Structure 1
Amino acid sequence: MTSSSRESRNAGALPAGSRLLSRRRVTAVAGMAAAAVLALAACGTPASAPPGQAGSTDGGSGTKVIIGVGGQTLLTYLPTTLAMQLGYYKEEGLNVELQDLQGGAKALTAMLGGSTDVTSGYYEHAIQMQAKNQSIKAFVDMGLSSGLALVVAPKNEGTIKGITDLKGKNVGVTAPGSSTDMFVKFLLSKNGAQPTDAAVSGIGSGSSAVAAVQNNQVDAAVMLEPDISALAKQLGKAPVILEDVRTADGLKQVFGSDSWPSACLYAKTDWLEKNQDTARKLAKAVKRALDYVATHSGQEIADKMPEKFAAGDKGQYAKVIEDLKKTLSKDGTFSKDGVEAVLKTQRVANPEIGDKEIDLSKTYTNDFVSG
Structure 2
Amino acid sequence: MRWRKAIALVLIAGLSASLAAGCGQAKREENVKVRVGEVTRSLFYAPEYAALSQGFFKEEGLDVELQTTFGGDKTMTALLSGGIDVALVGSETTIYVFQQGAEDPVINFAQLTQTDGTFLVARDKPAAFEWSQLKGKTFLGQRKGGMPQMAGEFALKKQGIDPQGDLKMIQNVDFANIPAAFASGTGDYVQLFEPQASVFEQEGKGEVVASFGVESGNLPYTVFMAKRSYIDKNKETIQKFTNALFKAQKWIAEQPPEAIADAVLPYFEDTERELVVSVIKRYKDQQSYAANPVIDEQEWNNLLDVMASAGELNERTPFGAIVDNSFAERAMRR
TM category (shorter chain) comes to: 0.7 to 0.9
One-letter code aligned to 2:182: V
Q: Does the CA-based 8 Å contact 2:150-2:310 persist in structure 1?
A: yes
Q: Structure 1 stretch 179-188 or stretch 145-154: which is displaced more?
A: 179-188
SS of equivalent to 1:119: strand
Paired amino acid for 2:220: P
More strand, by proportion:
2
Does structure 2 conserve the Cα–Cα contact (< 8 Å) formed by 1:182 and 1:350?
no
* Secondary structure of the corresponding residue to residue 113 of structure 2: coil
The secondary structure found in structure 1 opposite 2:172 is strand
Q: 2:298 aligns with which of 312, 337, 340?
A: 337
TM-score, length of structure 1 as denominator length: 0.72
The alignment status of 1:245 with 2:206, answered yes or no, reads no
1:190-339 matches, cutoff 5 A:
191=160, 193=162, 198-205=169-176, 208-235=177-204, 238-239=207-208, 241=209, 243-246=210-213, 250=214, 254-255=215-216, 257=217, 259-307=218-266, 309=268, 311-325=270-284, 326-339=287-300
1:47-66 aligned within 5 A: 52=8, 54=10, 60=16, 61-66=30-35
Alpha-carbon separation, structure 2, partners of 1:55 and 1:328: 29
1:165 and 2:126 matched: no
Q: Return 5+ residue gaps in structure 1 as ranges.
A: 3-49
* Paired position in structure 2 for 1:148: 118
CA distance in 2 between counterparts of 1:194 and 1:223 reads 17
In the TM superposition, what is the alpha-carbon distance from 1:221 to its structure 2 partner?
2.2
Where relative contact order (Cα < 8 A, 6+ residues apart) is larger, the structure is 1
User: Do the aligned residues in 2 keep the contact of 1:127 with 1:343 (CA within 8 Å)?
Assistant: no
Alpha-carbon RMSD? 3.2
Aligned residues: 304
Quick one: distance in 2 between partners of 1:203 and 1:57? 31
Rounded Cα–Cα distance in structure 1 between residues aligned with 2:11 and 2:164? 34
Work out the percentage of aligned pairs sharing the same amino acid. 22
The whole-number CA distance in structure 2 between the counterparts of 1:210 and 1:266 is 27
Structure 1 CA distance for aligned equivalents of residues 67 and 204 of structure 2: 31
Which residue does the alignment assign to 1:98?
A: 66
Cα deviation for residue 56 of structure 1 reads 8.0
Q: Which runs of 4+ in 1 moved over 6 A?
A: 55-58, 155-158
The aligned amino acid for 1:260 is L
Q: Deviations over 1:89-134 (max 9, x none)?
A: 1221112111111223321221122211111111222223222223
Mark the structure with the bigger radius of gyration: 2
Check 1:59–1:234 CA distance in 2 against 1; reply closer, same or farther (3 A cut): farther
SS in 2 for 1:264: strand
SS at match of 1:138: strand
